[in-house]
Amino acid sequence: MPELKGHVPIYSRDGWLFMANRKKTEFFLNPFTRECINLPNNSRFFPSECLAFSAAPTSSSCLVVTFTHQITSKNRFVIATWRPAGETVWTFHRFRNKSSCGKWDKFVYSNGVFYGFSNCGFVGVFDPCNATWKVLPVKPWDCPAFCQIDFSMKNVLMMEHSGNIFAMSRQLNNKSPVFKLNLERMLWEENREVCGLSVFASYPESERNRTYPSANVQLSQYCSLVNEKSSRPPTSTYLSKRVAWVAPPDHNNNVNL
């Protein structure tokens, strides 16, 4: 597809990819039907920022959320929202950010809200219905194993499964610890067994039972939660920025390959 030249996949959900490049052109793509949906003209998204969406853009419940730190102030950020079904412009919400929380560089949708993860290990929640943002009282140091991992952008992968939030640490050894967010106790818990599920993950996006190759082959990783082993592709393998793996939508019989 010529229109994909120069674009990279930023986020994936329900069989759709969000594609963007540094020329400020972005759109949704269904790689199975080749359907494309453009964003409003006043989009301010850049590939280096956070983006997530709640459902396929063809769904009436789809909400797109972007997260931007203001250059002029380290203690302020903007969350922009847009609904493909009926809205033609973005809605902007401005919030204050505590410097101790660090930079918010990941978003994942679950149970009607968007969970954010910072490079200091904190968790924030954006409630689109009430247009509110709050930092949860989840302290990274309350879980000794969680506190030992590197919270930088490309070393922690965040995912959702059956309403639960998980974080996986990408390490160079054969162990990739997985942590589950306990919202009742407000702390991270290390999970050694997660129902025999496998995780296919790479930066910038990760979900259970999905594969998202990174433009940098060194960042791609496969982790099986059954035997707690992980492996990395051979150094000779090249994964292009133009390639992404995505699960087809349910009951989609019109797949064009």
* Inter-CA distances, 208 with 54, 69, 222, Å: 16, 28, 11
Average pLDDT of the chain, as a whole number: 75
In terms of pLDDT, which residue wins out, 173 or 205?
173
Which helix (H) or strand (E) element contains residue 158? strand 156-161
d(CA 80, CA 44): 9
What pLDDT is recorded for position 231? 47
- Percentage of the chain modeled with pLDDT above 70: 63
* Inter-CA distances, 203 with 45, 67, 126, 200, Å: 18, 17, 22, 11
d(CA 132, CA 94): 10
Q: How many CB atoms lie within 10 A of CB 243?
A: 14
What pLDDT is recorded for position 201? 56
List pLDDT tens digits, range 204-247. Answer: 444 444 433 344 444 444 444 334 444 444 343 334 444 455 66
SS3 at position 153 = coil
* Contacts for 175 with CB less than 8 Å, ≥ 6 apart: 228, 230
Fold classification of 2-231 (topology level) = Neuraminidase (2.120.10)
Amino acid identity, position 223 = C
Residue 221 backbone dihedrals phi, psi, to 5 degrees: -160, 145
Which helix (H) or strand (E) element contains residue 164? strand 164-169
List pLDDT tens digits, range 30-56. Answer: 988 889 998 886 565 555 568 899 999
List pLDDT tens digits, range 190-209. Answer: 886 666 666 655 554 444 44
pTM exceeds 0.85, yes or no: no
Statement: residue 71 has pLDDT above 80: no
